[in-house]
Amino acid sequence: MQQQRKKSFIREWVVPLAVAVLLSVLVQTYVAQAVKVPTGSMEPNIEINDRLIMEKLVPLTNWQRGDIVVFNHDADGKGVVRYVKRLIGLPGDTIEVRDGVLFRNEEKVDEPYVKQAMSYRFGPVQVPEDSYFFMGDNRNDSYDGHLWPNRFVPKSELVGKIIFRYYPFNQAGTL
């Protein structure tokens, strides 16, 4: 009787729990993962300590200007850091900031998520093949592509795209 209870316990609890843990690890490794925002570079749209969901299907992702992306990058030669920034330039794009406004390929970019005009001049620079250019939404207080010595992020460093904010609860929703 004791042996049968042991087998029943394993079948009813241990196997399903092991499968659940395995599925959780697989999902977090290859499909989606929670991310905590470490800096104010995306304020006021994303605040410090906001919790976000990132989809990690990088090979299947159709990257678009305006996406909020997580990537690992050695921006200044001091080591790789994980960033959360907005995708501004695709391969081949020319990026410039003048008169407080972002221009992409000589056209003024409408950026409703930027709340303050930029107080600097930048560029023009052209984004190389298989690389991207990123900036924070808090443009005047964001350490991003306009300041980095290694300003372009290779495609191989992209980790995923932010799709959802789940904390704080009163701001939960898609981004």
Task: Dump pLDDT digits (tens) for 51-87.
Answer: 999 998 777 788 999 999 999 999 999 999 999 999 9
Asked if the bond preceding 128 is cis, omega within 30° of 0, the reply is no
CB 100 within 8 A of CB 119: yes
Strand partners, 133: 89
**Same domain membership, residue 138 and residue 81:** yes
For residue 151, what are the domain limits? 35-174
Is 85 known to be catalytic?
yes
CATH code: domain of residue 115: 2.10.109.10
Query: What total number of domains does the chain contain?
Result: 2
Section 104-117 average pLDDT = 93
**Same domain membership, residue 42 and residue 22:** no
Claim: this prediction has a pTM higher than 0.85: no
Q: Indicate the pLDDT class of residue 4, thresholds 50, 70 and 90.
A: confident
**Same domain membership, residue 45 and residue 21:** no
**Same domain membership, residue 125 and residue 68:** yes
Is the pLDDT at 26 greater than 70, yes or no? no
**Same domain membership, residue 88 and residue 26:** no
Query: Among 41, 56, 142, 161, which one carries the catalytic annotation?
Result: 41
**Same domain membership, residue 84 and residue 7:** no
**Same domain membership, residue 81 and residue 114:** yes
State residue 35's pLDDT score: 85
State residue 62's pLDDT score: 87
**Same domain membership, residue 26 and residue 40:** no
Pick the more confident residue, 21 or 99: 99
Q: What angle do CA 85, 89, 92 make, to 5 degrees?
A: 150
**Same domain membership, residue 75 and residue 24:** no
**Same domain membership, residue 8 and residue 45:** no
**Same domain membership, residue 15 and residue 62:** no
Query: Among 56, 85, 142, 161, which one carries the catalytic annotation?
Result: 85
**Same domain membership, residue 48 and residue 23:** no
Is 41 known to be catalytic?
yes
| CB-neighbour burial class of residue 66 (10 A; exposed 0-12, middle 13-18, buried 19+) | exposed
